[in-house]
C-alpha cells in the first residue's frame, strides 16, 4: 500500500528485534522484494532516533503521510438528532420533506452520514442531512431532549451544522448492514432468551408441552388414515422416522404453540423402488399477480384456504414401511412396522402425491386445468366463472363450499 499510494519503492526497512520482524518468512519476503532489512542493536533505542523525532511532531498520521492538514468540518456529535432530506422523486406532494433520525456514524465505503430512523427501524445513509447537535434522542422515553446546563460538554456543538447537497439515496450499505434496530430493553421483554427447542424425542419427553404436541400429531395421523400397523414383508426394508420440534410465536413474542412434526428419513429411500416422480409444479408469481389484478378490476371475492397437514393427504402408489415412533410403540406389537397409505413429511414423493390428490379432486369438482399454467384451474357454471390456483394448500371460494360439504372424505380445512 505504501508503494501504491506514494508511487515510490521501499528500499530500506529498519526495525527492532521483535519476533514478527526476525521470522524466516519476513526475511524471505524482504529478499524477494529487494528490501534491505536493518535491525537495531539490542537495548539501544538511540538508533531509532529518526522515528522518535518524527513522533514528536504535532501532526496527525494522515497529515504526516499526505502533507495536507485534514478537514474536520464533517465531524458531528455522535447521537445527536438530525433531519434527512427526502428527494422529490421519493415523496408525494403532501409528504414531509425530511425524515427524523439519530446520528450513529459515518459510512465506510460511501461519502455520507449514517443515521437511525426510529419510525422505519433502519440505518440509512445520506449526505443531505441537517444536524441539531443541541438535541439528542432519549432511548428510554423515545423522544427528543434538548441539552441543558448539566449536559456534558461533549454534546455541545463544535462546528456550525450545514446542509450538504447531492444526497446519495442509499439505504444501509455499510460493512455491517443493519436491517432493524431495537432497544435492548425491548428485545429482553419480547424475546424468550432461555427458550431451547428439543433436538430429539428423548429431550422432548421431559416436557409436558412437547409430549402433548407429539400426541396431537399422532392423533392427526391416525384420524387421517395415514398408516396401518402390519408385519414387515420379506425383501422389504423399513425407513426410520424422527421428530422435529418448533415453537411458533405471536407477533408480540409470546408463545403461540409447540409444534411437533413426524418426519420420515427420506435419504434412506431408493429411487425406482421407494419412489418415482418427485416434481410438483408450483404457480408462477405472474399467475398470482394476474388473479389478484383481475379480482380487483372485476370486483371478485378472493378466498384463501389452508389445508391442515396438506402433505399427509397425498396418496402413495408405492409400498412404504416406516418404523414406529419412539415412545409411541404399540404394546405387544413393538416388532411391527407401519405401512403408509398416505404421505408423511420427509418422503421424496410427498409433494408429488399431494399435487396429484388436489389435481384429481379439482377435476372431479368440475374444474378444468389450464394448458399454459398447470396450477391454474377454471370452472364455468351458472354461478359464473371460478378461478382456482393451487399454492400447496391454498384455494378459492368454490373449494371452501364443496370441501366443507364433503369434509368426511376430503382433506380437512
Quick check: is 193 in a domain? no
Same domain assignment for residues 331 and 379: yes
**Residue 15 sits in a domain of what CATH number?**
3.30.420.10
Q: Establish if 72 belongs to a structural domain.
A: no
Q: What global pTM score does this model have?
A: 0.45
pLDDT value, residue 411: 56
For residue 192, being part of any structural domain is answered with: no
The pairing of beta strand 337-342 with beta strand 227-230: antiparallel
CB 128 within 8 A of CB 167: yes
Give the cell for residue 364: 372431479
pLDDT of residue 54: 61
Same domain? 139 vs 233:
no
Based on the domain organization, do 128 and 91 belong to the same domain? yes
Judged by DSSP in three states, 381 sits in: strand
63 backbone dihedrals φ, ψ, rounded to 5°: -70, -40
Q: What is the pLDDT of residue 155?
A: 41
Instruction: Choose one of 187, 215, 245: the last residue of a domain.
Output: 187
CA distance 140 to 322: 56
CA distance to 9, 24, 366, per residue, from 12 (Å): 9, 18, 88
Among candidate residues 315, 277, 305, the one with its CA nearest the CA of residue 390:
305
* Same domain as 92, residue 9: no
Indicate whether 361 belongs to any domain: yes
| Shared-domain flag, residues 17 and 119 | no
Residue 218 belongs to what H/E stretch?
Answer: helix 208-223
Instruction: Supply 125's cell numbers.
Output: 445513509
Residue from 20, 14, 10, 21 nearest 40 by CA: 14
Domain that holds residue 39: 2-66
DSSP H or E segment with residue 404 = helix 397-405
Q: Are residues 88 and 149 in the same domain?
A: yes
Together in a domain, 266 and 393: yes
Place of cell 415453537: 247
Q: What is the pLDDT of residue 57?
A: 63
Question: Does residue 258 fall inside a structural domain?
Answer: yes
Tell me, yes or no, whether 238 and 311 share the same domain. Answer: yes
Do 50 and 85 belong to one domain?
no
Based on its alpha-carbon atoms, the radius of gyration of the chain, rounded to whole angstroms, reads 34
Instruction: Supply φ then ψ for residue 123, to 5 degrees.
Output: -95, 120
Domain assignment present for residue 111? The answer is yes
CA distances from 69 to 10, 62, 112 (A): 24, 8, 21
Do residues 375 and 391 touch, judged by C-beta distance below 8 A? yes
**182 in the same domain as 251:** no
The beta-strand segments (E) located in 107-224 are 113-117, 122-126, 129-138, 143-146, 170-171
Instruction: Sheet containing 337-342: give its strands across.
Output: 227-230, 337-342, 315-322
The rounded average pLDDT for each run of 10 residues, N- to C-terminus, in the chain (413 residues) is 76 84 88 87 71 65 77 84 85 84 85 84 86 81 70 42 41 48 62 71 90 92 90 90 90 84 90 84 85 88 79 85 91 91 89 87 86 84 68 44 51 52
Q: How many domains does the chain have?
A: 3
What span, in angstroms and rounded, lies between the C-alpha atoms of 263 and 343?
A: 10
Among residues 109, 126, 108, the alpha carbon closest in space to that of 117 is found at 126
Same domain, 257 and 382: yes
Vertex 345 angle, CA 340 and 350, to 5°: 70
Distance CA 142, CA 182 (A): 11
Together in a domain, 181 and 248: no
- Three cell numbers written together for 194: 432461555
Residue 317 φ/ψ, nearest 5 degrees: -100, -20
Query: What does 306-345 look like in DSSP terms, one character per residue?
Result: --TTGGGGPEEEEEEEEPPPTT-PPTT-TT-EEEEEE--B
**In the prediction, which pLDDT does 386 show?**
67
**Count of alpha carbons within 13 Å of 378, Cβ hemisphere only?**
8
The dihedrals phi and psi of 409, each to the nearest 5 degrees, come to -125, -5
Separation of CA 7 from chain center: 45
Amino acid at each position: 500500500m505504501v508503494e501504491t499510494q506514494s508511487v515510490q519503492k521501499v528500499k530500506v526497512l529498519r526495525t527492532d528485534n521483535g519476533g514478527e520482524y526476525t521470522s524466516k518468512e519476513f526475511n524471505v519476503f524482504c529478499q524477494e522484494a529487494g528490501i534491505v532489512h536493518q535491525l537495531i542493536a539490542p537495548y539501544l533505542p538511540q538508533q531509532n532516533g529518526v522515528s522518535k523525532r518524527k513522533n514528536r511532531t504535532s501532526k496527525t498520521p494522515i497529515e504526516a503521510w499526505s502533507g495536507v492538514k485534514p478537514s474536520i468540518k464533517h465531524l458531528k456529535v455522535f447521537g445527536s438528532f438530525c433531519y434527512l432530506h427526502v428527494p422529490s422523486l421519493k415523496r408525494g406532494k403532501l409528504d414531509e420533506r425530511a425524515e427524523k433520525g439519530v446520528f450513529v456514524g459515518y459510512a465506510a465505503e460511501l461519502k455520507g452520514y449514517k443515521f437511525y430512523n426510529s419510525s422505519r427501524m433502519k440505518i440509512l445513509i445520506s449526505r443531505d442531512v441537517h444536524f441539531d447537535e443541541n438535541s439528542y434522542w432519549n432511548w428510554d422515553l423515545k423522544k427528543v431532549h434538548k441539552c441543558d446546563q448539566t449536559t456534558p460538554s461533549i454534546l455541545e456543538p463544535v462546528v456550525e451544522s450545514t446542509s450538504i447537497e447531492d444526497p446519495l439515496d442509499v439505504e444501509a450499505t455499510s460493512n455491517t448492514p443493519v436491517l432493524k434496530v431495537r432497544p435492548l430493553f425491548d428485545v429482553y421483554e419480547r424475546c424468550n432468551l432461555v427458550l431451547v427447542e428439543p433436538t430429539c424425542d428423548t429431550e422432548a419427553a421431559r416436557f409436558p408441552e412437547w409430549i402433548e404436541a407429539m400426541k396431537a400429531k399422532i392423533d392427526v395421523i391416525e384420524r387421517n388414515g395415514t398408516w396401518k400397523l402390519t408385519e414387515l414383508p420379506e425383501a422389504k426394508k423399513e425407513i426410520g422416522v424422527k421428530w422435529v420440534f418448533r415453537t411458533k410465536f405471536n407477533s408480540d413474542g409470546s408463545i403461540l404453540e409447540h409444534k411437533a412434526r413426524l418426519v420420515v428419513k427420506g435419504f434412506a429411500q431408493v429411487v425406482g423402488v421407494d419412489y418415482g416422480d418427485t416434481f410438483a409444479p408450483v404457480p408462477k408469481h405472474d399467475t398470482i399477480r394476474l388473479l389478484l389484478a383481475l379480482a380487483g378490476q372485476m370486483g371478485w371475492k378472493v378466498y384463501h384456504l389452508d389445508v391442515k397437514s396438506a402433505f399427509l393427504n397425498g396418496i402413495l402408489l408405492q409400498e412404504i414401511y416406516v418404523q414406529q415412533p419412539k415412545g409411541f410403540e404399540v404394546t405387544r406389537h413393538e416388532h411391527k412396522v407401519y405401512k403408509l397409505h398416505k404421505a408423511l413429511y420427509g418422503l421424496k414423493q410427498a409433494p408429488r402425491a399431494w399435487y396429484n390428490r388436489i389435481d384429481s379432486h379439482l377435476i372431479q369438482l368440475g374444474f378444468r386445468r389450464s394448458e399454459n399454467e398447470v396450477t391454474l384451474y377454471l370452472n364455468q357454471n351458472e354461478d359464473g366463472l371460478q378461478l382456482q390456483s393451487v399454492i400447496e394448500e391454498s384455494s378459492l371460494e368454490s373449494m371452501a363450499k364443496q370441501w366443507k360439504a364433503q369434509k368426511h372424505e376430503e382433506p380437512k380445512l
